[in-house]
Amino acid sequence: PTANLDAVTEAAVYDALFDAFPESCIVSSVHRMNLLTRFDEIVLMRSGEVVARGTLATLQRESPEFQQLLAAYDQAVE
């Protein structure tokens, strides 16, 4: 929902969202990997199938699919 916003405005939107709903389960599709630090659990999907699920630290450490996604993202933003 925030893909067309600049990074500062996008962060403000997520701040407001989490402040407004502190006890809620928030599901979001993100395009900027820096937003993943805001979430307790990440679900990586490909072609409608779950390929990895866990915390950011767990996925960074244990999921080859997630590691590839992060590497591609890092190259794209350089």
**DSSP letter for each residue of 9-72:** HHHHHHHHHHHH-TTS------SSGGGGGG-S-EEEEETTEEEEEE-HHHHHHH-HHHHHHHHH
Rounded Cα gap, residues 55 and 39, in angstroms: 8
> 2, 55, 71: which is closest to 31 by C-alpha?
2
Q: What's the confidence (pLDDT) of residue 34? A: 86
Q: What's the confidence (pLDDT) of residue 77? A: 75
Q: Please tell me whether the overall predicted TM-score, pTM, comes out greater than 0.75 for this model.
A: yes
**Tens place of pLDDT for every residue, the chain, 78 residues?**
788 899 899 999 999 999 999 999 999 988 888 899 999 999 999 999 999 999 999 999 999 999 999 999 888 876
Q: What's the confidence (pLDDT) of residue 55? A: 97
